[in-house]
């Protein structure tokens, strides 16, 4: 009933190809946008913004990046943490060494450097496939960690190899409060998501999916595997790099070489597996599941402080979280996004299913 499409006629090709062909979806999206821009600062506490939303948005960008590579192009990567690290360290070096560059440009340039690195890492993908490619990207992961742990030049010579991010200003306005950081991240998320959504609907997106579904067949119908695969690597690591830079500048504000280790790569991979491969919405759902859900479980457990021994409280989070992962993978192996799709299909037909 909610999704009744009666009367929504598509009278032009343009309308037929809109991102959100259903009117209700468009409204929901506009409402969400208004809510995150106006509603969140009015309603949410600083803790919710700084502790939940900023990391959620940043990890969602990272997940979009990996989803383009793994979910849409079918190239399994265990090196996404490395791309994030390259982005974070490039942004630091750009911002600290050339303070004249505007900070938004710094993030974009950091993404670009990560993209170049991603193309280098991805170049063997023409010859090696599947799990073997995963191992090759794993090498990038270890290489990057080693570089940032070994050469003090990248951290501005700090003895502890930790970078403290410099101050950020946009047109003379200094980004200091939690809300400033939130809006900055939100801006990147909105633009980045829209761009990614359109990319995967465009010619290149279809080429990526053709490569994913069967690379030989794709080659036969005239898709260049080299260009397609490397462009996926470039776009993917661009998003990863921007996410890494935002993570360093807008969230933790101090990163070291252990901040983007293999666990980070796996974390992003889990996000897209649980959220949904080949779905932009899935990136947000997956990021929420992996990043925010444990915190909420932890907070709920602490409502019972005093009744349950504190060591037990800490472990409840891990026990329930592990159980939920198994539960959702059994219920819907294609991820949370597919659950939403199924629900939507049902709602469109309700109350008269065939």
Partner 1 sequence: MKIKKLVVTVFSGLVLSALSVAPVMAAEESDPTKEQFIPVLTYKTGPFAAGGSGFAGGMEDYFTLLNNRDGGINGIKLVWEECDYGYNTERGVECYERLKGKGLKGAPAFQPLSTGVTYALLERAAADKITLIFLGYGRTDATDGRVFPWGFPAITNYWNQSTTKVQFIAQREGGLDKLKGMKIVNLHLKHPYGIETIPVWNAMAEKFGFEVTHIPVPWPGIDQKSLWLQIRKIQPDYVINRNWGISCTVPLREAARIGFPRDHIIGVWWCGAEEDAIPAGAAAEGYIAATFHAVGTDFPVVNDIFEYVYGVMKGNIASSRVGSVYHLRGVSAAIVTTEVIRKAQEKYGVGPISGEEFRWAMENLDLTAERIAELGATGVLPPFKITCADHEGGGSARFQQWDGNAWHFITDWVEPMKDITRPMIEASAAAYAKEKGITPRSGMSMGSDCG
| Residue ranges binding partner 1 (CB under 8 A) | 45-47, 50-52, 55, 96, 149, 156, 159-162, 164, 166-167, 176, 251-254, 256, 258-259, 261, 295, 298-299, 302-307, 310-311, 313-315, 317-318
Least Å from the CB of residue 125 to partner 1: 28
Residues 135 and 78: their CA atoms lie apart, in Å, by 7
According to DSSP, the residues that pair with 77 across neighbouring strands are none
Catalogue the E-assigned strands of the chain. 162-164, 168-170, 173-175, 254-256
Least Å from the CB of residue 37 to partner 1: 21
Q: Which of residues 55 and 335 has its CB atom nearest to partner 1 in the complex? A: 55
Q: Which of residues 20 and 304 has its CB atom nearest to partner 1 in the complex? A: 304
Residues 313 and 305: their CA atoms lie apart, in Å, by 7
Per DSSP, the three-state class of 305 is: strand
Question: Taking a C-beta distance cutoff of 8 angstroms, is the pair 272, 76 a contact?
Answer: no
Instruction: List C-alpha distances in Å: 156 to 82, 109, 153, 353.
Output: 19, 18, 5, 63
Q: Which of residues 23 and 167 has its CB atom nearest to partner 1 in the complex? A: 167
Least Å from the CB of residue 305 to partner 1: 7
Least Å from the CB of residue 326 to partner 1: 18
Least Å from the CB of residue 329 to partner 1: 22
Q: Which of residues 137 and 165 has its CB atom nearest to partner 1 in the complex? A: 165
Q: Which of residues 198 and 254 has its CB atom nearest to partner 1 in the complex? A: 254
Q: For residue 116, what are the contacts with CB-CB under 8 A and spacing of at least 6?
A: 234
Residue where the block lists tokens 């690591």 = 237
Give me 41's structure tokens. Answer: 């600062």
Produce one character per residue of 26-38: b if its CB has 16 or more CB atoms within 10 Å, e if not: eeeeeeeeeebee
Least Å from the CB of residue 43 to partner 1: 16
Q: In terms of DSSP bridges, do strands 254-256 and 168-170 run parallel, antiparallel, or are they unpaired?
A: unpaired
Q: Which of residues 272 and 313 has its CB atom nearest to partner 1 in the complex? A: 313
Cis peptide before 351 (omega within 30 of 0): yes
Q: Which of residues 112 and 149 has its CB atom nearest to partner 1 in the complex? A: 149
Residue where the block lists tokens 């989803």 = 67
Least Å from the CB of residue 201 to partner 1: 33
The DSSP H or E segment spanning 26 is helix 23-34
């Amino acid at each position: 009933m909610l999704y009744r499409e009666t009367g929504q006629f598509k009278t032009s090709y343009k309308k037929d190809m809109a991102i959100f062909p259903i009117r209700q979806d468009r409204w929901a999206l506009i409402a969400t946008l208004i809510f995150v821009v106006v509603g969140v600062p009015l309603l949410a506490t600083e803790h919710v913004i700084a502790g939940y939303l900023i990391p959620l948005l940043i990890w969602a960008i990272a997940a979009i990046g990996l989803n383009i590579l793994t979910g849409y192009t079918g190239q399994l990567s265990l090196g996404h943490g490395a791309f994030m690290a390259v982005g974070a360290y490039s942004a630091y070096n750009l911002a600290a060494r050339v303070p004249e560059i505007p900070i938004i440009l710094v993030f974009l340039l950091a993404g670009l450097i990560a993209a170049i690195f991603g193309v280098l890492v991805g170049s063997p993908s023409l010859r090696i496939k599947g799990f073997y490619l995963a191992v090759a990207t794993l090498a990038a992961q270890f290489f990057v960690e080693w570089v940032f742990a070994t050469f003090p030049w990248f951290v501005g010579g700090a003895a502890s190899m930790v970078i403290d991010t410099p101050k950020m200003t946009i047109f003379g306005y200094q980004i200091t409060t939690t809300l400033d950081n939130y809006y900055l991240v939100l801006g990147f998320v909105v633009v980045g998501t829209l761009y990614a959504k359109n990319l995967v609907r465009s010619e290149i997106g279809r080429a990526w999916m053709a490569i994913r579904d069967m690379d030989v067949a794709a080659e036969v119908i005239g898709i260049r595997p080299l260009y397609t695969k490397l462009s996926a690597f470039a776009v993917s690591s661009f998003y990863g790099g921007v996410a890494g830079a935002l993570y360093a500048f807008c969230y933790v504000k101090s990163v070291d070489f252990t901040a983007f280790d293999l666990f980070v790569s796996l974390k992003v991979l889990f996000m897209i597996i649980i959220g949904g491969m080949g779905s932009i919405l899935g990136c947000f759902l997956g990021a929420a599941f992996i990043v925010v859900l444990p915190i909420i479980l932890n907070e709920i457990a602490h409502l019972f402080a005093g009744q349950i021994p504190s060591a037990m409280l800490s472990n409840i989070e891990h026990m329930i979280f592990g159980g939920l992962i198994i539960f959702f993978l059994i219920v819907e192996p294609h991820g949370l996004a597919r659950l939403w799709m199924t629900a939507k299909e049902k709602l469109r037909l309700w109350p008269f299913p065939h």
